[in-house]
């Protein structure tokens, strides 16, 4: 594959192969990943000038303050244009380290080593980087390809159940946007997947990464078809910010809202709507919420960076594993759907 789209799915870190000479290598990780994997990871890297920067786990680290702190660390550590950054961790580490790499000295090399299911199937692929500003998610960022992505599939076995299920919500998304047979696979192999069967994990990570690579190659800067990857995200960002849900669970709830709206507008049949909800329920992934004001969710949706001409752009299902971008929806319709999903408790 072309530079930036190379994804290696392995069973350990020992096979990571960095061929280019670098004067320094900076690993950006978080406290949890550092405790679990740093020893195994670094012993396989043959670099004398190896340094580590560790952040606090969680979305709060995707901030201007943390970004500035890392930048100062890079300067103090004398990283140059011949240096390398490695992002070792989940989506937060990947987004943050990617943005640092894309802007330090106008861009230095980065390699992603994602350790969560969500980052392995989605966020590490496609070159998106970013940090948040208040309620504006990923409003500061860039498109910047990594040299390659090295996935150690066995890192998934150290995730807690909730984080694994959060990643599965993004896996389900890929079935809903373009591969209906994959939805069948997820249903038929539910027990194996939940028991972290190695071959199943390799299959779903490979399936999702190939789908995303194919889409990104057609539309790297998200001006067209790449927008379909945002199914559930515009609804979900408000849920994530205001309700304390993980990104994956928020996207699952947002996808429920998107399917509810599509069903009400006659874009899909009820049988398809019900089947999709049953998939989430079978994995015990949340698709409803409570305790958040619907108006507040709408206000965050209106700030979504993917909107244009003051209109909320939503990715909605249009049929079996088929979605489209719709931007002529009345805010009252959106509020109604938010209320209906909230009141399903």
Provide DSSP, 300-342: HHHT-TT-BTTB--EEEEEETTEEEEE----HHHHHHHHHHHH
Whether residue 191 is found in the same domain as residue 303: yes
One domain, residues 147 and 166: no
145 and 182 both lie in a single domain: no
28 φ, ψ (degrees, to nearest 5): -105, 125
**Average pLDDT value for the chain:** 93
pLDDT in tens, 100-110: 999 999 999 99
Neighbours of 14 (CB within 10 A): 12
189, part of any domain? yes
Is residue 258 classed as helix, strand or coil in its secondary structure? Answer: helix
Judged against a pLDDT cut of 50, whether residue 10 lies above it is answered with: yes
227 and 100, same structural domain?
Answer: no
Angle, helices 161-178 vs 270-282, to 10°: value is: 160
d(CA 334, CA 274): 20
- Please provide the distance, in angstroms rounded to a whole number, between the alpha carbons at the two ends of the chain: 46
Count of C-beta atoms within a 10 Å radius of residue 12: 13
Residue 230 lies in a domain: yes
Rg (CA), the chain: 20
Reading the block at residue 201, the tokens are 């994990």
| pLDDT at 217 (0 to 100) | 92
Phi, psi angles (nearest 5°) of residue 154: -75, -10
Does 24 share its domain with 147? yes
- Which residues have a Cβ under 8 Å from the Cβ of 87 and sit 6 or more positions away? 28, 29, 93, 94, 96, 97, 98, 101, 110, 111, 112, 113, 114, 124, 146
Does residue 73 fall inside a structural domain?
yes
Residue 200: inside a domain: yes
For residues 181 and 264, membership in a common domain is answered with yes
Question: Which of 157, 176, 191 is the last residue before a domain boundary?
Answer: 157
Domain identity same for 63 and 140: yes
Predicted TM-score (pTM) of this structure: 0.93
The pLDDT of 125-146, averaged and rounded, is 92
Q: Identify the pLDDT of residue 196.
A: 97
- pLDDT 10s digits, 262-317: 999 999 999 999 999 999 999 999 999 999 999 999 999 988 767 665 678 899 99
| Counted domains in the chain | 2
- 185 shares a domain with 131: no
**Domain hosting residue 41, numbered range:** 7-157
Residue 1 belongs to a domain: no
Assess if residue 70 is contained within a domain: yes
pLDDT single digits (tens) 51-101: 999 999 999 999 999 999 999 999 999 999 999 999 999 999 999 999 999
For residues 26 and 297, give the distance between their C-alpha atoms in angstroms, rounded to a whole number.
38
Residue 168 lies in a domain: yes
Are residues 152 and 25 part of one domain? Answer: yes
Both 152 and 193 in one domain: the answer is no
Q: How confident is the model at residue 328 (pLDDT cuts 50, 70, 90)?
A: confident
From 89, 123, 157, give the residue that closes a domain.
157
> Does 2 reside within a domain?
no
User: Do 86 and 170 belong together in one domain?
Assistant: no
Instruction: Estimate the crossing angle of helix 270-282 against helix 247-264, to 10 degrees.
Output: 160
Give the CATH number of the domain where residue 217 resides.
1.20.1090.10
Q: Are residues 90 and 218 in the same domain?
A: no
Residue with tokens 């300067």, as numbered in its chain: 75
- Domain end, chosen from 138, 157, 176, is at 157
CATH at residue 128: 3.40.50.1970
Residue-wise pLDDT tens digits, 12-57: 988 788 878 899 999 999 999 999 999 989 987 877 889 999 999 9
């Amino acid at each position: 594959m072309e530079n930036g789209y190379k994804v290696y799915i392995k069973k350990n870190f020992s096979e990571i192969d960095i061929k280019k000479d670098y004067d320094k290598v900076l690993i950006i990780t978080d406290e949890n990943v550092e405790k679990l994997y740093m020893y195994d990871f670094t012993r396989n890297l043959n670099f004398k000038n190896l340094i580590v920067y560790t952040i606090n786990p969680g979305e709060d680290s995707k901030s201007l303050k943390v970004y500035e702190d890392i930048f100062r660390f890079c300067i103090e550590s004398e990283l140059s244009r011949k240096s390398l950054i490695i992002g070792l961790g989940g989506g937060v580490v990947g987004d943050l380290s990617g943005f640092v790499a894309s802007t330090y000295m106008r861009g230095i090399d980065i390699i992603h080593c994602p350790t969560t299911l969500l980052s392995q199937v989605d966020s590490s692929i496609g070159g998106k980087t970013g940090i948040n500003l208040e309620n504006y998610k990923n409003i500061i960022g860039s498109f910047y390809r990594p040299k390659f992505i090295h996935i150690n599939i066995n890192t998934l076995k150290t995730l807690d159940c909730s984080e694994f299920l959060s990643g599965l919500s993004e896996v389900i998304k890929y079935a809903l946007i373009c591969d209906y047979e994959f939805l069948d696979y997820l249903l038929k192999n539910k027990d194996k997947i939940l028991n972290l069967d190695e071959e199943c994990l390799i299959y779903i990570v490979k399936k999702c990464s190939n789908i995303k690579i194919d889409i990104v190659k057609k539309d790297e800067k998200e001006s067209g078809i790449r927008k379909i990857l945002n199914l559930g995200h515009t609804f979900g960002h408000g849920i994530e910010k205001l309700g304390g849900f993980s990104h994956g669970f928020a996207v699952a709830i947002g996808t429920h809202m998107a399917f509810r709206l599509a069903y009400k507008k006659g874009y899909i049949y009820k049988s398809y709507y019900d089947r999709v909800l049953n998939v989430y329920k079978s994995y015990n992934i949340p698709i409803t919420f409570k305790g958040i004001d619907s108006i507040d969710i709408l206000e965050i949706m209106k700030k979504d960076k993917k909107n244009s001409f003051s209109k909320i752009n939503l990715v909605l299902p249009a049929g079996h594993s088929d979605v489209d971008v719709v931007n002529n929806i009345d805010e009252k319709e959106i509020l109604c759907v938010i209320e209906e999903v909230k009141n399903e408790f």
